[in-house]
Amino acid sequence: MLLLPRISISEVDLLLDEYRGLSVNELAARTEQLRPWLKSRPTSPTGGYPVDSAVLETWRRGILSIAYEWGYPIDSGRDKQRGEFDRKVTKFLWQQLSEVAPGDLMRGETWAFLTTELLPDVTLWRFPGQGSDRGLPVRRRFIGGQRNAFQRLWTRALLLRQDTAAEPYHLIDSMSEDELVGLIERPNVSASPELAQAIARTLVGFSSDISDAGVKREEVHRGAMLRIRARFPVIAIDFLEGEELQAELDRAYWNALEAEKAKHS
């Protein structure tokens, strides 16, 4: 298994100070000049062997090529650009990181390396900041965690990819960015791939009813997620299976749909 380099939060903060004020183009030029993936970085002492720098560079080129398809290095402000970039990178990461030690993929320091040293320009392009912070590095997108620019995408594949389906990424491709964020960034849901997939299937399955009702699907999804999360203290939804689980989810989405219809009646 491959072992990836790691960098600490304090190292991320030092690098972000250096990146402050740089445009995407300037950060790309700096990265290509310094080629930080060639440096010796600590990895796990056991469980595999350190990934070769040539492999890291291949990953960088692969994600850059996807970014160029969707407007890099120009502003990625359009929702369609961001969504399509994310979908393609989700699939790329799942395929390319398949030989990485599973423990490494669960460590924030690993993802911090990928965003902050291997792909800082792409991270800044994808998340350029808002308002007075526009163009400045958004810290939570560089450090490890559910909001890391690339960890969040790999986690989507981990939870929602259906290995035995004819179209393994169907659920991911069928959901908007807001719907995916509302599902994946909820710890009590994302802890269970079975529950996450069941919720996603239910949402997609309700699409026709939602469309016929003339309400926004994202609002119905948001309302259903509130209802599902409210049930956790009452019933262990993440331990339900089959028809019992589906009945709970159907009820949540149906009630959320009816609530949205009532708002517009």
Q: Cα dihedral sign for 192, 194, 198, 200?
A: positive
| Between residues 143 and 238, the one the model is more confident about | 143
Give the per-residue pLDDT at 153.
96
Residue 232's pLDDT band (cuts 50, 70, 90): confident
In total, how many domains does the chain have? 2
Please, which contacts does 41-44 make with residues 24 or more away whose CB atoms are closer than 8 Å? 41/5, 41/6, 41/7, 41/113, 41/117, 42/5, 42/6, 43/3, 43/4, 43/5, 43/6, 43/104, 44/3, 44/101, 44/103, 44/104
pLDDT (mean) for 193-218: 92
Same domain assignment for residues 118 and 201: no
Please indicate, yes or no, if residue 168 is contained in any of the structural domains: no
Same domain assignment for residues 74 and 155: yes
Could you tell me whether strands 49-50 and 2-3 are parallel, antiparallel, or unpaired per DSSP bridges? parallel
Please indicate, yes or no, if residue 169 is contained in any of the structural domains: no
Q: What percent of the chain has pLDDT over 90?
A: 66
Segments of 28-132 assigned E as strands: 49-50
How far apart are alpha carbons 69 and 214 in whole angstroms?
33
Name the CA dihedral angle for 118, 119, 123, 128, rounded to a multiple of 10 degrees.
110
Nearest to residue 151, comparing CAs of 129, 126, 175?
Answer: 126
Give the per-residue pLDDT at 130.
61
Phi first, then psi: give them for residue 126, nearest 5 degrees. -70, -35
Please indicate, yes or no, if residue 121 is contained in any of the structural domains: yes
Predicted confidence (pLDDT) at residue 151 exceeds the cutoff of 90? yes
Question: Rg of the chain over CA atoms, in angstroms?
Answer: 20
Same domain assignment for residues 91 and 14: yes
If 0-12 CB within 10 Å is exposed, 13-18 middle and 19+ buried, where does residue 183 land?
buried
Please indicate, yes or no, if residue 53 is contained in any of the structural domains: yes
pLDDT (mean) for 51-64: 95
Instruction: For residue 188, give its domain range.
Output: 174-265
Give the per-residue pLDDT at 4.
93
Same domain assignment for residues 78 and 40: yes
Same domain assignment for residues 156 and 184: no
Nearest to residue 87, comparing CAs of 109, 113, 67, 59?
Answer: 67
pTM of the model: 0.90
Q: How far is CA 51 from the centre of its chain?
A: 23
Looking at 161, 191, 221, the residue that finishes a domain is 161
Q: Output the 3-class SS for 5-38.
A: CCCCHHHHHHHHHHHCCCCHHHHHHHHHHHCHHH
DSSP-derived secondary structure letter, 50: E
pLDDT (mean) for 67-89: 85
Please indicate, yes or no, if residue 166 is contained in any of the structural domains: no
Give the per-residue pLDDT at 123.
95
Question: Which tokens is 152 given?
Answer: 């969040």
Please indicate, yes or no, if residue 113 is contained in any of the structural domains: yes
Predicted confidence (pLDDT) at residue 114 exceeds the cutoff of 70? yes
Q: How far is CA 168 from the centre of its chain?
A: 17
Please indicate, yes or no, if residue 6 is contained in any of the structural domains: yes
Residue 136's pLDDT band (cuts 50, 70, 90): low
Give the per-residue pLDDT at 77.
62
Q: How far is CA 213 from CA 115, 172, 189, in A?
A: 41, 23, 27
Same domain assignment for residues 4 and 116: yes
Whether 190 contacts 184, CB under 8 Å: yes
pLDDT tens track for 7-42: 999 999 999 999 998 999 999 999 999 998 888 787
Same domain assignment for residues 48 and 92: yes
Q: How confident is the prediction for the chain on average, in pLDDT? A: 90
Same domain assignment for residues 45 and 83: yes
Please indicate, yes or no, if residue 202 is contained in any of the structural domains: yes
Same domain assignment for residues 15 and 93: yes
Same domain assignment for residues 129 and 52: yes
